[in-house]
Amino acid sequence: MQSDDSHRLDALTTAFNHLLQSQDLLQKRLARLENFLQLRAEPATPERVSGEPPTPPPTTEHIAGEPIQLSVETEPDVRPTQPQESGLETKVGLTVVNRIGAITLVLGIAFFFKWAADNNWIGPAGRVILGLLAGFATLGTADFIWRKRQQVFAQGITATGIAIIYLSLYAAFDFYSLIPQWAAFLMMVATTAMAAVLALRYKSFAIAVLGLSAAYLTPLLLSTGQDHPWFLFSYLLLLNVAATELAKYGKWPRLEIISFIATFLIYGGWLLGRGARPETRLVATLAPLAFTAQRWRTKTPILFSFSQLLTALTISFIWSQEETNFLLLALLVAAAGLAFAHLRSYSLAILTAFLGFWLSYAAHLAQVHEPLTQFSGVTCGFFLFLAWSWWHLVLQRSAPSTLALSVFAINGILYYAYSYDLLNSNHHLWLGPLAAFVAAVYLAFGIFLHRQAAESGADNRPLLLALGIALSFLTLAIPIQFTGFTIAIAWAMQAAALTWMAYRFNSERAAVAAAVVFSLVALRLFLFETETLPDPLSYSLLWNSRFFTFAVSAGAMLLSSYWSAKIFAPSALATYFSGHFFLLWGLCLEIFGWAARSATPENRLSLETISISILFAVYAVILVSAGVATRTAINRISGLGLIGIVILKLYLFDVWQLSRPYQISAFVILGILLLSTSFLYSHFRRLIETWWKDEKTST
């Protein structure tokens, strides 16, 4: 009997321990469920009496022969999971409808103010007081709802209360004239601060957006048509400051975008409607300057850049009839952009500062003004950005980015283009020296960059760019300042100087630049200089400007070929053959003129033909002789090639076109020249072969 009682007592003890474990398991599962539902309930654990023995593991006992299965399931390993995102229906029903409802309610209250005023229902003071009471009551209700864990719904209610307070304060000042301007301003400052505090407290981007939107909509909804620009723009500036700080502390950068767009729309609408009047120029100018200055603290630098660009264009619109004021303001805005780019390390501000200045000046140049005054303005802008390039590339020795190099290059191009438009009509003589001056500025810049690169081994791209720009402007200055044959001569001398620089500094790019200029020389000789002396009786043989132009140009090409032979072989070959070609072409033109003056019309073609053949043959002999004397294979091979052309011409053309006396003369003279060439090769055969062997061995 005693044994049965002992067994029953053990079974009851085991069952009691099992109940304790089950309770503990249920408490843990309930805690997880509460955490999943974001109720933040901490799981309760049963306190154990000190000294209580540990709970024995569950067992299966038999009581009075009846099996009693007492088992506890092992708790599954359930890892905490992230709450799943709400479905589309929940988002629409809770969030979207809440936001739209808040905005709709604010609009309804705003329309109620207008309706109450139109029907004289309640006195102005009563309407404002009721509005303020309703706004603060709404905020209190929102806070109560928030504490009840209905955060999303409370956000819309909070924003509604803030908007009602804004409406009431603005109506008290601008609609009912119950409070002075300074009082309304201070109260709106307080309301804006309160909205920011509530948004940060609840960590709600929605409250910040709705409150800020209501603040910007307030002056539009309650406008009476009266113009109060000082108050309006001070109010907008305050809102912009609040949006920037709220975006900074709440980490909501999109608030600044909303602020920027709202400010742009409100100010732009006012400017187009009322800002062009003389009495509003001051406030119309200070407002965008203040808005841009306020963006200095922005966490979204692109907004400063856009604001700066729009401000520059706005100033051009406001001061379209004023030269001095526009110039000073445009330079101020551009300098501010460059400073912002440096202090905030934001390169886009450089581009917007650059574009803002030149685009605003382009709009300003459309007005009829004094050209010299406008020229002084673009000159100041040119030197401003040139000074920035100097500071950035030379003093700071910064890595030359694509943007910095683009500003450096395009600055001079835009400056000269604007200056050309201003000075071409009445001051055309200035344009050539101006182009030469710009070329000299960039050349001096390039010299300093070269010294810097030589000392520190820096990137040589700015140096090459500066030299290229200087070359371009010098090339441009020549046809602008000079006329006639002097253009080709000046270009040829310039290209030769470039080739010497390439030879001196071992620069292939300078050789290529020289080749480009020589291409301009070739086009000039073909298209213009060939036709400069159409009347053969107006000039003498070899003593005229045309042949002088061809001779100097060809000499420059041949000299450049010598300098560039060790730097850039393709350029050397091109200038070598071009030099001989244009010298022969100039001599042929002289032959045409001499034949026209000397022969009768029926003998003119025969005289021209035999003279050109003899000229080519003599030129070929000279080339071969020069090749032998100077040990240059290119001259000897060129001479032989020209002789081949003469032979083909003699047998394929001359023999069929010349009359008998000219045929005899051509064959005799050319035969003598060909034999002379053969004698040279016969006499110097071993020496020439030795030269070829030496050249092959050296290579």
DSSP string spanning 27-74? HHHHHHHHHHTT--PPPP-----TTPPPPPPP--EEETTEEE----PP
- Whether residues 342 and 202 share a domain: the answer is no
Q: Are residues 544 and 665 in the same domain?
A: yes
**Same domain (yes/no): 221, 238:** no
Q: Assess whether 237 and 186 both reside in one domain.
A: no
Over 80: is that where the pLDDT of 636 sits?
A: yes
| Same domain? 174 vs 259 | no
Closest CA to 316 of 291, 341, 333, 337: 333
10 versus 49: the higher-pLDDT residue is 10
pLDDT above 60: residue 101: no
- Distance (Å, rounded) from C-alpha 293 to C-alpha 552? 60
Last residue of a domain, one of 159, 193, 226: 226
101 within domain boundaries: yes
Does one domain contain both 38 and 110? no
Residues 217, 304, single domain; the answer is no
Residue 61: inside a domain, yes or no?
yes
Interatomic CA distance for residues 606 and 236, integer angstroms: 90
Site of tokens 């003599």: 618
Residues 649 and 516 in one domain: yes
| Domain contains 261 | yes
- Residues 207 and 326 placed together within one structural domain of the fold: no
Q: Does position 178 have pLDDT exceeding 80, yes or no?
A: yes
Tell me, what's the pLDDT at 681? 65
> For position 582, what pLDDT does the model report?
92
What is the number of structural domains in the chain? 4
For the record, the structure tokens of 130 come out as 């009721």
Domain's final residue, options 365, 399, 434: 365
Highest mean pLDDT among 109-118, 353-362, 467-476: 353-362
* Pair (219, 246) in one structural domain: no
User: Residue 245's domain spans which residues?
Assistant: 233-365
Reported confidence tier of residue 674, pLDDT bands at 50, 70, 90: low
Do 588 and 624 lie in a common domain? yes
Alpha helix stretches (DSSP H) within 70-204 = 88-90, 97-119, 124-147, 151-170, 181-202
Assigned domain for 22 exists:
yes
Mean pLDDT for 494-516 is 78
For residue range 225-237, list pLDDT tens digits in order: 677 788 888 888 8
Arithmetic mean of pLDDT, 493-506? 79
- Domain membership of residue 421 (yes or no) is no
Would residue 128 count as lying in a domain? Answer: yes
477 in a domain, yes or no?
Answer: no
Domain annotation covers residue 394: no
For position 61, what pLDDT does the model report?
41
Asked whether residue 660 carries a pLDDT value surpassing 80, the answer given is no
> Which token pair is 479?
């046809």
Q: What is the pLDDT of residues 526-544, one digit of tens each?
A: 888 888 888 888 888 888 8
Tell whether the model's pLDDT for residue 59 goes beyond 50: no
Last residue of a domain, one of 350, 365, 380: 365
Q: What is the pLDDT of residue 4?
A: 60
Q: Output the pLDDT for position 42.
A: 45
pLDDT exceeds 50 at position 14: yes
* Residue 131 in this model has a pLDDT that exceeds 50: yes
288: tokens are 């965008």
- pLDDT tier, 583 (very low <50, low <70, confident <90, very high otherwise): very high
CA distance 86 to 101: 20
Q: What is the pLDDT of residue 587?
A: 93
Q: Is the pLDDT of residue 464 over 80?
A: no
- Do 253 and 219 lie in one domain? The reply is no
